Amino acid sequence: MSQSDSTQELLPIADLALPIDAEPPKSRRIYCNRDLRLDQVELVGFDMDYTLAIYNQDEMDRLSIEATAKKMVERGYPEVLLHMPYTTHFPIRGLLVDKRLGNILKTDRYRYAKKAFHGTRELTSEERKRHYAGKRVRPGTKRYHSIDTLYGLSEVVVFSATVDALERPGEKLDYGQLFEDVRTCIDEAHRDGTIKGEIARDLPRYVDRDPDLPATLHKLRSSGKKLFLLTNSEPEYTETMMRYLVDGGLPEYRSWQSYFDVVIAEARKPKFFSNGDPFEEVGSDAKVEELERGSVYRGGNLADFMRMLGVRGDRVLYVGDHIFGDVLRAKKESAWRTLMIIQEMTEELDAMERYVDEIDRLHRLETRRYDLLDGLRDRQSLLKSLDRKLEGDAMDATERVEVEAARLRLRRAVERIRSQVRGIEAEYGELEEKLEHAYHPFWGSPFKAESELSSFGEQVERYACLYTDRVTNLLRYSANHYFRGPRHRMAHE
């Protein structure tokens, strides 16, 4: 077998031992919002951080929180920040920071605040209503900052821990300034290499290496697809990380680079999708006319990329984790199809599986409550008509006794139904809280806000053709799989 970089190495399929299940278990499934035929995809692209490289979120948060707190103290913040308590799993993706009031919000698809915390204390529903009832929250304005990436989670951890640590009763902090300082310090820690340097020094601690990754990439290549890497990370860090992730995985591949036909680092997404920056080859000053296998490029732009590769936009599948940087921009600026990696799915599916009976019970309680309320309204209107009859109609004694008895029976029935409804509502409330807590102890499911989609859930549904919790779930599907989205039905169908 040729060891050259330019040939498509083929393993006998039996070497890939994993059978293709008719349907993988829920936790390994790829979920589909819009039909996608994998056999029509010619080019599969991957983001690196949080897509191919799955970070250990707890360790990552700890690392960036400690680096950030140190930089905050250097900027003149009190030293208590070096020892402040914090909860790494406090935030989820899709939250908004209200820089005016120092609150963290979760919004539903219509951008109404459904849950709010100040520091790490949940606002009571009165407090929340006082600030946000009837008002749509407008992300993208000066007042609100959205947390779209898993990197962004540590901004919220530091911000809310600092609010807890510095706020005194009756004293207001300049939350806007505080949040900007937190962000500046985190950015600095990323830029000056404090964070990435530490990760590179101890990869096993910070990165969950998935042993199925080489086989997954190989499987796509074996079916004739070309692969590319498109990451914002710098070339050196990309090299270190990719080596760790796939080198030595399959003997037929000499190095991580042999899996990819094109490698682009420091791509500056989301600008990559709309700007006109030229491609540069790492280690060469020559003008880039073609993207060659075996070289590493930086910068570049979508239009040149598509022209040089000569592939139709809808024949490209891009796999990434960032809703704006990877998925939304790819969707808006190109015809690229998208597979979004959502690490949070692992816990979500796990909770759904563990609480399947409770979820079922919740739905049944909801239906039962609506039925009872219908019955209640019927009896109440009947009761009113009997009241009117007793007041106005002339009737003989026997008839009056009968009507009064009927009214009494109805009143009792109304009372009975009311108490049943109260019982159901109490049980519903308890169950709902238990389930919310199972999804996430502070915020509930990232995809839902009460019975609505959350704004994050809505973005996933709108922009990601497919979504799943890890790249290697692709290994469970044929490289020619036809992913089918839910058939849309209108209310009358």
Which CB atom, from 178 or from 245, has the smaller least distance to Mg ion?
245
Is residue 262 a contact partner of residue 293, using CB atoms and an 8 Å limit? yes
Which CB atom, from 50 or from 86, has the smaller least distance to Mg ion?
50
Structural tokens at position 116: 């709010």
Structural tokens at position 279: 């491609």
Which CB atom, from 107 or from 238, has the smaller least distance to Mg ion?
238
Q: Is the dihedral of CA 89, 95, 101, 102 positive or negative?
A: positive
User: Does the protein bind Mg ion through residue 321 (CB under 5 A)?
Assistant: yes
User: Does the protein bind Mg ion through residue 148 (CB under 5 A)?
Assistant: no
Which CB atom, from 208 or from 430, has the smaller least distance to Mg ion?
208
Q: What is d(CA 44, CA 230) in angstroms, rounded to the nearest whole number?
A: 10
Q: What is d(CA 208, CA 343) in angstroms, rounded to the nearest whole number?
A: 12
Smallest separation (angstroms) from Mg ion to the CB of 116: 28
Which CB atom, from 295 or from 343, has the smaller least distance to Mg ion?
343
- Is the preceding omega at residue 441 within 30 degrees of 0, hence cis? no
One residue of 47, 108, 155, 210 binding Mg ion per CB under 5 A: 47
Smallest separation (angstroms) from Mg ion to the CB of 93: 12
Structural tokens at position 106: 């979760």
User: Does the protein bind Mg ion through residue 49 (CB under 5 A)?
Assistant: yes
Q: Which stretch binds Mg ion (CB under 5 A): 81-89, 172-180, 196-204, 316-324?
A: 316-324
Which CB atom, from 153 or from 352, has the smaller least distance to Mg ion?
153
**Helices of type H across 148-270:** 153-166, 175-191, 194-201, 203-206, 213-222, 235-246
The helix, strand and coil proportions of the chain, stated in percent and rounded to the nearest 5, come to 50, 15, 35
Which CB atom, from 49 or from 148, has the smaller least distance to Mg ion?
49
DSSP structure class, residue 274: T
Smallest separation (angstroms) from Mg ion to the CB of 160: 24
DSSP structure class, residue 250: S
User: Does the protein bind Mg ion through residue 61 (CB under 5 A)?
Assistant: no
Is residue 234 a contact partner of residue 228, using CB atoms and an 8 Å limit? no
Q: Which amino acid is at 313?
A: G
Smallest separation (angstroms) from Mg ion to the CB of 329: 13
> 327: burial class by Cβ within 10 Å (0-12, 13-18, 19+)?
buried
Q: Which stretch binds Mg ion (CB under 5 A): 60-68, 318-326, 439-447, 453-461?
A: 318-326
Smallest separation (angstroms) from Mg ion to the CB of 18: 26
Cα 40–Cα 43–Cα 48 angle in degrees, nearest 5: 135
User: Does the protein bind Mg ion through residue 266 (CB under 5 A)?
Assistant: no
Q: Which stretch binds Mg ion (CB under 5 A): 320-328, 331-339, 417-425, 455-463?
A: 320-328
Smallest separation (angstroms) from Mg ion to the CB of 61: 16
One residue of 31, 50, 132, 228 binding Mg ion per CB under 5 A: 50
Q: What is d(CA 323, CA 30) in angstroms, rounded to the nearest whole number?
A: 17
Q: How many residues bind Mg ion (CB under 5 A)?
A: 4
Which CB atom, from 107 or from 231, has the smaller least distance to Mg ion?
231
Structural tokens at position 479: 């490289």
Smallest separation (angstroms) from Mg ion to the CB of 341: 8
Smallest separation (angstroms) from Mg ion to the CB of 483: 22
Smallest separation (angstroms) from Mg ion to the CB of 321: 4
Rounded to whole angstroms, the maximal C-alpha distance in the chain is 108
Backbone angles phi, psi at 112, to 5 degrees: -95, 140
Smallest separation (angstroms) from Mg ion to the CB of 322: 5
Smallest separation (angstroms) from Mg ion to the CB of 144: 23
Q: Show the site string, 361-400: x = touches Mg ion by CB under 5 A, - = not.
A: ----------------------------------------
Task: Return the residue matching tokens 């919310």.
Answer: 436
Which CB atom, from 50 or from 175, has the smaller least distance to Mg ion?
50
Backbone angles phi, psi at 135, to 5 degrees: -115, 135
249-276 burial: b if 16+ Cβ within 10 Å, else e: bbebbeebbbbbbbbbbbbbbbbbbeee
Which CB atom, from 47 or from 266, has the smaller least distance to Mg ion?
47
DSSP structure class, residue 29: -
Residues 158 to 217 in contact with Mg ion, rule: CB under 5 A: none
User: Does the protein bind Mg ion through residue 436 (CB under 5 A)?
Assistant: no
Which CB atom, from 50 or from 483, has the smaller least distance to Mg ion?
50
User: Does the protein bind Mg ion through residue 439 (CB under 5 A)?
Assistant: no
- Name the site residues for Mg ion (rule: CB under 5 A): 47, 49-50, 321
